Structure 1
Amino acid sequence: MVLVHSTTLGAFFSLPLDSLLSTQGIMVMLLAAYAGAMWMFLTSAPKVHTIMVSDMEIARQFYEGLLDLPVADIPLHYYYNYEQSLGVTAGIDPLYMSASPGVSSGRNLNAPDGLWYQLKKNNQLHVISGANLGKKNQQRHVCFDRDCLEQVLMRVEVRGLKHKIRNQKPLNFLVKDLEERVIEMAEVSN
C-alpha cells in the first residue's frame, strides 16, 4: 500500500515538477528572479540631481558648511556605471585620473566621483566640476534640473543666507557665502 501511495504521489508531481526542473523552466525562473531583483534595486535607488561647479573646494564649503547637507554614499547604480556615463573607456582605471597622483588626502576633490550629499530622504545631490566662472570671476553652479535648484534655494532660505533671485524661468539666483563670494546658481533650460 505504501508503494501505491508513493507512485500516485510521484505521478501527481511528475508533470509540473518535470517542466519546472527542465532547463527551460529553470531559465524562466532565473529570468523572473533577476527581473524582480532589478526592479527592487532600481525602485529603491535614490533620485540623483547633478550640479556642475566651477570650484570643487568652494562647493564643498558651501554645501557642507553653509547648507549643512550631510555627505551621502555613492549609489550603487552610479558606482558601477560611472566610467560609461562619462564616456571614459572601461580600460582606464579611475585611480589614475586624479589631477595630483602623488597627493593623497582623506577626500580627493578631483576624484571622478565628485561630491555626494543627501538632499532629502531619497534624493541625493551629485556635485561635479565643469562649470565656467561667471561674470567678475564669480562661482557658478549649473544644473539641468529645476527641482534640484528649488530644493537648494529652499535650503538657502531656511538657513537665512543672503540671496537674490534674478530670474524665475529658468531659475537663476545669487547666494553669498561666508567669504562674501557670490555664487550664481543657474538652471540650464533645454
Structure 2
Amino acid sequence: MTLLMFLNYTMSATSVLGALLPALDSLFSTQGIMVMLLVAYAGAMWMFLSSAPKVHTIMVSDLQIAKEFYEGLLNLPVADVPLHYYYNYEQSLGAASLDPLYLSATPAPSALTSTMGGSEGLWYQLKKNTQLHVISGATYGHKNRQRHVCFDRECLETLLLRVQSRRLRFKVRSKKPINFLVKDIEERVIEMAEVAN
C-alpha cells in the first residue's frame, strides 16, 4: 500500500509540474524576459524620479553677485547637482514661454558658468528636498538693477521669507505676480521677479 501511495504522489506531483512548465516556459522566453526587464526599469525610474529633489531655477543678471547674495546674505548651503540634471532635464522645461524682456540678448560670459560644464550655474539647498538652481541670462533692470527672475511663485515666497528672517532691507512692489526689491552688502538693489505664465 505504501508503494502505491508513493506512485500516486509522484504521478500527481509530475502532473502539477507538467502543468506549470508551459507557464514557466513562456515566462522565461525572450518576450517574457523583455517584459520583466521593462517592468524592472519602470520601477527603477519611478524610484529614481520620486526621490529626486524638486528644483527651482532662477535666472540672474550676474552670477558672481548672485553667489555673494545667496551664499553670503541668505546663507544658503551649497548643494550637489541632482543626478537627473546630468541628463539635461531642465532643457525641456518651458523656456519657450519666457518673456524676452527678462532675457539678455548676449549673456555675459562668466568664469562660474564655464567651469561648471554641463550643469552650469550655482546650486543651493533651499529646503530639505528642494534645491535652487541659479543660472545667468536675465537682463539688468531699471537703473542697472540686478534682476533675478523665476517662474515659480513658491520659490520666490521662500526666498522672501529667508530675506525677512535675515532682517535684510526689502520692499514688496507687487504680490501677483510677486516682485520685491532687496539690498545686498554692497547696497546694490536686487529685483526678485516672478515671470507670469
* Secondary structure of 1:61 counterpart: helix
Identity over the aligned pairs, expressed in percent? Answer: 69
- Counterparts of residues 66-145 of structure 1 (less than 5 Å): 66-81=73-88, 85=92, 99=109, 108-110=112-114, 111=116, 112=118, 113-145=120-152
> Residue 133 of structure 1 contacts residue 140 of structure 1 at CA under 8 Å; is this kept in 2?
yes
- Counterparts of residues 148-187 of structure 1 (less than 5 Å): 148-187=155-194
Gaps spanning 5+ residues in structure 2: where? 1-5, 96-108
Gaps spanning 5+ residues in structure 1: where? 88-98
> Which string of whole-angstrom CA distances, capped at 9 and with x for unpartnered residues, describes residues 114-143 of structure 1?
101111111111000001111111111011
Q: Which amino acid aligns with 2:77?
A: P
> Residue 57 of structure 1 contacts residue 109 of structure 1 at CA under 8 Å; is this kept in 2?
no
Q: Which amino acid aligns with 1:45?
A: A
Shift of 1:82: 5.6
* Secondary structure of 1:142 counterpart: strand
Number of residue pairs the alignment of both structures matches = 173
Name whichever structure is richer in helix by fraction.
Answer: 2
Q: Which amino acid aligns with 2:18?
A: A
Is 1:37 paired with 2:44?
Answer: yes
Shift of 1:84: 5.2
Q: Which residue of the partner structure matches residue 57 of structure 1? A: 64
- Counterparts of residues 10-21 of structure 1 (less than 5 Å): 10-21=17-28
* Structure 2: distance between partners of 1:124 and 1:83: 13
Q: Which residue of the partner structure matches residue 91 of structure 1? A: none
Give the structure-2-normalised TM-score: 0.79
Shift of 1:54: 0.3
Runs ≥4 residues deviating over 3 A: 1-10, 82-87, 108-112
